[in-house]
Structure 1
Amino acid sequence: MARPKAGGLASLEERDIDANLLNELRIDHHERDHDGSGTRRRWPVVVGGVFVLALLAGAGAWWFIAGRPAAVQTALAVAPGAGSNAAAVLQATGYITARRQATVSTQITGTLTQVLIEEGDKVQKGQVIARLEDSALRAGLNVAQANILAVQAQATQAQAQLAQAEADARRQTELAASGMSTRQAAEQARTAVAAAAAMLEARRREADAARAQLAQAQVNFDYTIVRAPFTGVVTVKAAQVGEIVSPLSAGGGFTRTGVGTIVDMDSLEVNVDVNEAYIGQVKADMPAEAVLDAYPDWKVPAHVLAIVPTADRGKATVKVRVALEQKDARMVPDMGVRVSFLGSKPDPAAAKQAPKGVLVPAQALAQRDGRSVVFVVIDGKAQQRPVKPAAQDVGTMKLLPDGVKLGERVVLSPPATLHEGTELRIDNEAR
């Protein structure tokens, strides 16, 4: 019974030894990544990391380039009337301004009791537009009027006393000549005449002073009445009844410094900023054509009034004053205007025959997906618009019957990378 038991133990030990030998012959999975020299093979990981870094770098470069605004040059779409005659020499933008406007205030500080204007009202020169509280000044005016009446009465009394003194002097002189009166009495009569004359002169001087005081009181009283300095239109109503108005600043208080603003609409003109590189092309009395942004189809004849002899260092521009040859109620101050400076006066007959559409430089056209397009600058971004240029060209300009509006700015020589919505940076705006 003991041998079989011993034999069973031996078989178990042999099986354990065989299992250990098999485990020693297995290849550990950690050793599979090493070559025969015992070095771990890392090249698949390295290649993968390089590939990922390359992708990240490319994405970063694309994001940096795509996020930057594209630098472009632009030009305005102009009306074919001027371009067809090759008369437009230069274009510039500006605003309507009034050479004659005033914020009307009072001569003295006071409280408003009446404000007789509203925005849009037409007023005539000298028309009353406001009144101040005037009780104190009216009382002073009444005192001055009473004072001059009193002084005038005293002057009349002195005049009568002088007449009596002169009559007495004549009688004393006659009596002295006949021996019926003494010479001393005649001399005293003449002295009385001189004294009466001096008194009358004093009363007259007092009357002059009283009249001056009355005039001063009248002027002060008139300061309570605010009048329009010239004929025009009220554009701003700056104060209300009950507010205090002063010709001087109140130092941040609630005192108003003006009642309203009046503009002489007959003095409207256009001020434009012309790039100093092109100012040599503008001359005094040069014909021009103005187009209001609010009314792009309305062309207003104009001419150069003056070139202001100073330049804006920051903008590198020179201000030019342009006179409008037609005035209209639609024109109001601070309206945006585009001015075309013309080499010669436009022909009205040719303007009527001008084709429909706008003119743009030929280099503004580009090809996208087999069709002609232009890129218009809208809020600093490129907007792609399909166009069909007309058959006839006007010099280097292309006629676009539709697709682009008058006054819009188009991109010149658009690059192939330019697309809808691209941020734009206008380096130098072409004419």
Structure 2
Amino acid sequence: MAEAHAQRLDALRINRSVHPRRKLARRWPLWAGLGVLLLLAVAAGTMGRAPSVRVAEVREARPGEQQTELTAAGYVSSRRHSVIAAQVAGRLVEVAVDEGDAVKKGQVLARLDDRDARVVAARAQAELLAAQQQLIAARATATRARSDLGRAELLAKADVITRANLEEAQALAHASTAEEQAASAQFVAAQRAAEAAALQLSHTVVRAPFSGTVVRKLADEGAVLAPAALEQENIGGIVELVDLGALEVEAEVSEEQLPRIELGQPALVFLDAYPDQAFRATVRSVRPAIDRSKATADVNVAFEEIPPGVLPDMGSRVAFLKEELPQDALEKKDAALRVPAAAVVQNGGQSVVWVVQDGRVKRQPVQVARKVGDEVALAQGPEPGTQVVVAPEGNLRPGRKVKVRTEEG
């Protein structure tokens, strides 16, 4: 009985003679299997993730591309464009125009509360009238004193009056003349004060400095306006006025391309709002300053005829031409399509592009006609508007799902 009990106790004892490393060695296949499974899961996730690709659209050639020296992006602007503000502080009591209204030079745009200005002007006029009366009285006194002096000098020569009487007459004449001069100076000062008060009163009426169109209304009746400030733009603005008859395109040209631009050089303007139309223009001026941050200069291009419907800040592209474009060349397009040069790659000795359709890519052969700047002209390829991958990576496969981002990001 005791022997059986001892055997059971021996069975419960832990055998410490077995080394722990041998146990770990027996378990390494389990850890290795788990590692392989983890690697397979990561690889599967990576394989299934849609890569991000940059795309651009196939486009038709624009008129005059054969004669184009260079192109630049820009915006429509006006040579006469101003935010109209009052020259004095005050409360706005009337805005006489609305957005879209055409106004003439000198037309009333707005009125400020003029009660204080009228009081000041009335007081200045009263002071002017008082100064005028004082001048009249001083002139009369001075005239009489000079006449008395003349008689005193004659009487003194005849020894009718004493020397003291003559000196008294002379002193009175000199004093009267000084009073006349002082009254005259006070009258001139009162005149200038009245003119200043009248000018301040006139500033409560805001008029158009040039003929144009109201494109924005910046304040309404009841607003308290600060006077126009030189340090800060648009402080106290009431309306924004633009001369739509002086529209042009302000394009940004890189400084290394500036030598290719000349005053009077012919150009074509393509507006984003009217992509199928080309408008003739000429280089009007080149701003003599470089933007350090962008290394560009502004080139102003004037329309030969301002097209209807064009508005300030419309996006555009300007094609600077090598020579004047004939009218028939302006009306017809180069049949070739255009894609970024980086979109065309070689595959098995054939030029192809990767077309994105329904979120997946497919390979399409193209026939390259020639290289044009950073683009290539295609004699045969996808239809205009088709999205193609720019600078495709080698991991693309037909039918693979992709995430699209445009040229703008």
Superposed pair shares fold, TM > 0.5 = yes
User: Is the Cα contact below 8 Å between 2:369 and 2:377 reproduced in 1?
Assistant: no
1:126 and 1:385, CA in 2 relative to 1: closer, same or farther beyond 3 A? farther
Q: Which amino acid aligns with 1:70?
A: V
Residues 377 and 410 in structure 1, CA contact (< 8 A), matched pair in contact too: no
Equivalent residue of 1:259, what SS? strand
Match of 2:299? Answer: 321
SS in 1 for 2:286: strand
| Residue 287 (structure 1) aligned with residue 266 (structure 2) | yes
Task: Please give the secondary structure, in 1, of the residue aligned with 2:77.
Answer: strand
Deviation at 1:373, TM superposition (A): 8.2
Q: CA 1:423 to 1:235, structure 2 compared with 1: closer, same or farther past 3 Å?
A: same
The 5 Å alignment of 1:329-348 reads: 329-348=308-327
Match of 2:41 in 1: 56
State the match for 1:98 in structure 2. Answer: 78
Residue number among 223, 243, 247 corresponding to 2:203 in the alignment: 223
**When the two structures are aligned, how many residues end up with a matched partner?**
368
Contact 2:353 2:388 in 1 (8 A): no
Unmatched runs of 5 consecutive residues or more in structure 1? 1-41, 250-254
Give the alignment of 1:122-161 within 5 angstroms.
122-161=102-141
Match of 2:166 among 175, 182, 186: 186
Q: Which residue of 2 aligns with 1:87?
A: 67
2:52 corresponds in structure 1 to: 69
CA–CA distance in 1 between the matches of 2:54 and 2:169?
A: 107
Q: Within 1, Cα distance between the matches of 2:324 and 2:244?
A: 25
Q: Conserved in 1, the CA contact under 8 Å of 2:74 and 2:249?
A: yes
Name the CA shift for 1:71/1:409 in 2 (closer, same or farther; >3 Å): closer
In the aligned structure 2, how far is the partner of 1:399 from the partner of 1:119? 49
Q: 2:64 is paired with a residue of what secondary structure?
A: helix
Deviations 1:294-343 (A, max 9, x none): 11122112344326643564xx6524424132323422122111222323
Structure 1 residue 144 displacement after superposition: 0.7
Query: Structure 2 vs 1, CA of residues 217 and 263 (structure 1 numbering), >3 Å: closer, same or farther?
Result: same
Tell me the equivalent position of 1:14.
Answer: none
Give the Cα–Cα distance (whole angstroms) in 2 for the partners of residues 181 and 420 of structure 1: 129
| Higher mean displacement: 410-419 or 335-344 | 410-419
Partners of 1:145 and 1:306 in 2: how far apart? Answer: 52
The answer to whether the 8 Å contact 1:77/1:410 transfers is no
Partner of 1:32 in structure 2? none
Task: Report how far residue 245 of structure 1 moved.
Answer: 0.9
Structure 2, gaps ≥5 residues long: 1-26, 347-351
Question: TM-score, normalised on structure 1?
Answer: 0.69
**1:127-175 deviation line (CA, Å, top 9, x unaligned):** 2211111111101101111111111111111222222222322333333
Alignment-derived partner of residue 298 in structure 1: 277
Give the one of 263, 266, 273 matched to 2:242: 263
Following superposition, the deviation at residue 110 of structure 1 comes to: 0.8
SS in 2 for 1:114: strand
Q: What is the DSSP-based 3-state SS (H/G/I as helix, E as strand, rest coil) of the residue aligned with 1:299?
A: strand
TM superposition shift of 1:215: 1.7
Give the 3-state SS of the residue equivalent to 2:161 in structure 1: coil
1:107 to 83, 87, 90: 87
Contact 2:105/2:207 (<8 A) preserved: yes
Cα RMSD after superposing both structures: 4.4
Distance 1:152 1:356 in 2: 84
Tell me if structure 1 keeps the 8 A contact 2:95–2:220.
Answer: yes
Partner of 1:31: none
Distance 2:103 2:361 in 1: 47
Percentage identity across paired residues of the two chains: 29
Q: Contact conserved, 1:387 with 1:403, CA < 8 A, in 2?
A: no
Rounded to whole Å, the distance in 1 between the matches of 2:398 and 2:33 is 34
Paired with 2:58 and 2:260, the residues of 1 have a C-alpha distance of: 19
CA distance in 1, matches of 2:357, 2:174: 95
TM-score (norm 2): 0.73
Question: What's the secondary structure of 2:63's corresponding residue?
Answer: helix
Q: Corresponding residue for 1:38?
A: none
Q: Does the CA-based 8 Å contact 2:64-2:329 persist in structure 1?
A: no
Distance 1:100 1:421 in 2: 52
Residue of structure 1 in register with 2:12 after alignment: none
CA contact (8 A) 2:247 2:303 kept: no
Q: Please, which of 348, 351, 374 is the counterpart of residue 330 of structure 2?
A: 351
Question: Residues of 1 paired with 2:341 and 2:155: CA distance?
Answer: 119
The whole-number CA distance in structure 1 between the counterparts of 2:195 and 2:379 is 72
Question: Taking structure 1 as reference, are residues 58 and 346 closer, same or farther at Cα in structure 2, changes over 3 Å only?
Answer: same
Q: Which amino acid aligns with 2:164?
A: Q
Larger displacement relative to structure 2 (304-313 or 411-420) = 411-420
CA contact (8 A) 1:357 1:401 kept: no
Task: After TM superposition, give the deviation of residue 179 of structure 1 in Å.
Answer: 3.6
User: 1:148 is paired with a residue of what secondary structure?
Assistant: helix
How far is 1:48 from its partner?
Answer: 9.7
Work out the CA distance in 1 between the residues paired with 2:399 and 2:266. 39
